[in-house]
Structure 1
């Protein structure tokens, strides 16, 4: 499930088979959305990690190619929940008058902090927030609930919270939809327990491989 774009090099990584697209592929969907609604400029917030840095770089390249303007950009540290929320607040104070379109390249924890802080400054009906994160649509149902960050998991999610997220559009890759994929997945799990891999079976680990 590696999403690093470098392993797309089949000359070097000829034994590698993807079951998920590289992280940068989702950027094409983002650019198509911006062009469809003629949103020619936006502000970008990304997490300062290798995974999201790759996506941010791809956004810059595609935006330049299609003549879309990144008005401002900002990064937040990894695991921002352990930092002061003023990082997000300062970013919003600096940018909310510049744009009506935000692109968020960060985990769901950052998205929650951002949306719930932004609503303190503006009417979210006037804004569009496009989010890209690590969540994947599993395709088992027509809808998939948005993950709630652990600090909020034990709190009551109110109607006000839900209303705030009406301004958010999440772009996420899907798992393979081929009917034979589950068969392939099970064969792989069986094979990796054998030589030369010899991966020990763990009932809690294997469902997530």
Structure 2
């Protein structure tokens, strides 16, 4: 995109830095030629790139910086000419073979480095079934998918997004519509402007309020602590969009986003350097379209630092060769001064380039956490570093481990626990139905059910008999109690009255 072309200003800035440093290439002025060869992953454009490289070589060029995207053909030609080629944006995994591309190096960590961190994060939370939304970048689509499959992560589906602008939001909405019922984990590899709209599409269905979904985003933009609170805002475009009232939904939705970004810049002067890069980018020969509002708000892509570093490590290597009396046009000699060494990056820390000429990646996971630096009665969430990736001392190319920076400040999940890769009963309830079917189809289970049924009937019958006997016993007891309490009576008609004079005469006679 045009915004990403602002990184080109790092090239003339680095050249100016080299020429002003008396310790780098003393007595020699470094100059550069620029050429646009398009997206070199197409075969026809690869031929164009090689033709332009040939013209540059014939005009006296002694080293190449670039190109973008795929660089396999260009790196092979540079090796044939024994001229160094140092890339700042090429992610092609094929060129990580120093036996073939022996004059090639890059300051951009290749996809294999980034893929390891992605796999480590997914495995840390058992997210083994995912949907990938990715830019149209062959290196990503090939290498990343291979890594995912090799480490037991199933890719349910893959969708591509490239050169995104908000008028294409319907494409993202179609992706959500096609996938949200059969996934809970999205791996989003794309620009931040597209990520914001992707979260918006999920929130239109209120999917990120339940804690069931998670988005793992691979972001090549530099994390800026100064913009940690308004990380979801795109001030250069959001105020002009018709659905800007969704901003609060999007902000809450970012609680379900984990961004994997290059490690935070520690160079205290980096912000000023970025402003100088922007100023150089609008000048010839690049002439990047300038808009004051856009230039104020955009975050500088990390490729700007990679491009600056590419020029500087070449200048350092060439300076060392000149001091030893060797030819700086010797590409293999230049690379011997670059491989298996560290250099101090514009980002403020040292970066190691391995034996294949690949820069090691330093990546951090950021997520929304309670902001402890803000004042007020209401809690404010901001994007903050939460985790990193640790390789073991005896690592031989394996996957690193995800570690929390501060164990007391873990990821603040929307739900009580991390989202599951698959719901407990499956996406359509199929896992629970399978359990029931297995029980019904199991003969031993049927026998046990039959025995349990007979036992239950026997117990029910015995209980009934006990209840009946108890009722009769109670009634008999109550009857005896009533008899004992009755007062006996004799009806008057049943009595025979004997007169008292008869009794007296009888007594007299007897006397």
- Report the counterpart of residue 107 of structure 2 in structure 1: 19
Which stretches in structure 1 are left out of the alignment for 5+ residues? 197-206
Find the aligned partners of 1:46 and 1:24 in 2 and give their Cα distance. 16
- Report the counterpart of residue 257 of structure 2 in structure 1: 168
Shift of 1:108: 1.1
How big is the alpha-carbon RMSD for the aligned residues of Structure 1 and Structure 2? Answer: 3.8
- Report the counterpart of residue 2 of structure 1 in structure 2: 89
CA contact (8 A) 2:166 2:197 kept: no
- Report the counterpart of residue 200 of structure 1 in structure 2: none
Instruction: Confirm whether residue 102 of structure 1 aligns to residue 186 of structure 2.
Output: yes
CA contact (8 A) 1:85 1:113 kept: yes
- Report the counterpart of residue 188 of structure 1 in structure 2: 312
- Report the counterpart of residue 119 of structure 1 in structure 2: 203
Instruction: Confirm whether residue 67 of structure 1 aligns to residue 191 of structure 2.
Output: no
- Which of 214, 217, 222 matches 1:131? 217
Change beyond 3 A, Cα 1:27–1:177: farther
- More displaced stretch, 7-16 vs 100-109: 7-16
- Which of 128, 135, 142 matches 1:40? 128
**Cα shift readout 1:141-179 (whole Å, capped 9, x = no counterpart):** 77864475442277889444321111111112337989x
CA contact (8 A) 1:26 1:172 kept: no
- Report the counterpart of residue 91 of structure 1 in structure 2: 175
How many residues matched?
186
Change beyond 3 A, Cα 1:188–1:153: farther
Find the aligned partners of 1:2 and 1:186 in 2 and give their Cα distance. 10
CA contact (8 A) 2:166 2:194 kept: no
Find the aligned partners of 1:64 and 1:185 in 2 and give their Cα distance. 33
Instruction: Confirm whether residue 58 of structure 1 aligns to residue 143 of structure 2.
Output: yes
Change beyond 3 A, Cα 1:79–1:188: same
**Cα shift readout 1:31-82 (whole Å, capped 9, x = no counterpart):** 111111111101111112x3xx312222211121122111111112x22216
- Report the counterpart of residue 28 of structure 1 in structure 2: 116
Find the aligned partners of 1:73 and 1:143 in 2 and give their Cα distance. 34
> Residue 129 of structure 1: SS of its match in structure 2?
strand
CA contact (8 A) 1:21 1:173 kept: no
> Residue 156 of structure 2: SS of its match in structure 1?
strand
Shift of 1:103: 0.4
TM-score by length of structure 2 reads 0.32
Find the aligned partners of 2:101 and 2:239 in 1 and give their Cα distance. 40
